[in-house]
């Protein structure tokens, strides 16, 4: 088993475990976007695993896994909007992955240019990163307690954006991409990408737990205020 296969299994396993954990967490965080984050993490995990299955179809082995990971990332974005109790922009969540899928069909099967297809795919993800980073800094006054963790997530998205730019430069320079044998720099980039995804997942989990804690404190304050009013009324009788 090659190094890249081992790394892929590790990254995929972490994504799947985190996705399952967030599904369990979703029971106590209904309406906070955890369902989208859980779905995104599971889709990313299965997308990474899909790379390990041999296929005689080059499209399935070279393009499909990347598209699955992209779908997972857009589910992350939907979760961010849901968590912040903002409108989910479905034209972006559905339209961008669909457009990416259609361009992959055109440039892979019609123009037979994997480099151009991959370059456009990277550009789609770059736009996604910019949107995600902006959303990380756009918090309501009631969510200022999440500022630090969202800044860390924004930094993770920025690192992922830099990796995409490095990948784009490599593609434009016609550097061949071999999924079975990677150079040392390719392995390093793969490891960093895995850590970025793990950091994002932990960031989402931390934000969800902080939101739960904040909601619990608000409920306790409301309960104490309620009992205080009752006690005051009883003393006045």
Residue 93's pLDDT is what? 95
Neighbouring residues of 130: CB distance < 8 A, sequence distance ≥ 6 = 161
For residue 224, pLDDT over 50 is answered with yes
Residue 187's pLDDT is what? 55
Tell me the DSSP string of 142-199.
Answer: GGGGGHHHHHHHHHHHHHHHHHHHHHHHHHHTT----SSS--HHHHHHHHHHHHHHHH
Tell me the DSSP string of 10-43.
Answer: HHHHHHHHHHHHHHHHGGG-TTTTHHHHHHHHHH
The total number of structural domains that make up the chain: 1
For residue 119, pLDDT over 80 is answered with yes
Is the whole model's pTM more than 0.85, yes or no? no
* Domain assignment of residue 170, given as a range: 3-236
Per-residue model confidence as pLDDT tens digits over 124-169? 999 999 999 999 888 888 778 788 888 888 888 898 888 888 877 7
116 vs 170 pLDDT, higher one: 116
Q: Which of 49-53, 54-58, 158-162, 233-237 is least confident?
A: 233-237
For residue 23, pLDDT over 50 is answered with yes
Alpha-carbon gap, residue 15 to 50, rounded angstroms:
13
Q: What is the mean pLDDT of residues 42-70?
A: 84
Mean pLDDT of the chain: 80
For residue 100, pLDDT over 90 is answered with yes
Taking each helix axis from N to C terminus, what angle separates 147-172 and 114-137, rounded to the nearest 10 degrees?
160
Share of the chain above pLDDT 90, in %: 18
For residue 75, pLDDT over 70 is answered with yes
Among 107-116, 122-131, 215-224, which range has the highest average pLDDT? Answer: 122-131
Per-residue model confidence as pLDDT tens digits over 166-217? 877 776 776 444 444 445 555 556 666 767 777 777 777 777 777 777 777 7
């Amino acid at each position: 088993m090659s190094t890249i296969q081992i790394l892929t299994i590790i990254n995929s396993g972490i994504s799947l475990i985190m996705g399952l954990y967030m599904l369990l967490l979703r029971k106590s965080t209904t309406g906070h976007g955890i369902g989208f984050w859980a779905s995104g993490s599971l889709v990313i995990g299965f997308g990474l695993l899909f790379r390990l299955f041999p296929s005689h179809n080059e499209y399935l082995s070279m393009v499909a896994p990347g598209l699955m990971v992209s779908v997972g990332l857009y589910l992350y974005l939907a979760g961010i909007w849901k968590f912040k109790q903002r409108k989910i922009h479905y034209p972006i969540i559905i339209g961008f992955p669909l457009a990416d899928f259609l361009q992959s069909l055109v440039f892979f099967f019609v123009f037979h240019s994997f480099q151009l297809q991959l370059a456009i795919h990277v550009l789609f993800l770059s736009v996604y990163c910019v949107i995600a980073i902006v959303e990380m800094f756009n918090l309501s006054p009631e969510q200022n307690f999440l500022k630090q963790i969202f800044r860390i997530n924004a930094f993770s998205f920025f690192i992922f954006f830099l990796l995409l730019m490095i990948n784009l430069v490599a593609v434009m320079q016609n550097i061949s991409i071999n999924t079975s044998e990677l150079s040392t720099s390719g392995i390093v980039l793969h490891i960093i990408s895995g850590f970025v995804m793990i950091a994002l997942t932990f960031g989402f989990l931390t934000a969800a737990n902080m939101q739960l804690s904040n909601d619990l404190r608000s409920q306790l304050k409301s309960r104490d205020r309620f009992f205080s009013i009752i006690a005051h009324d009883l003393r006045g009788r």
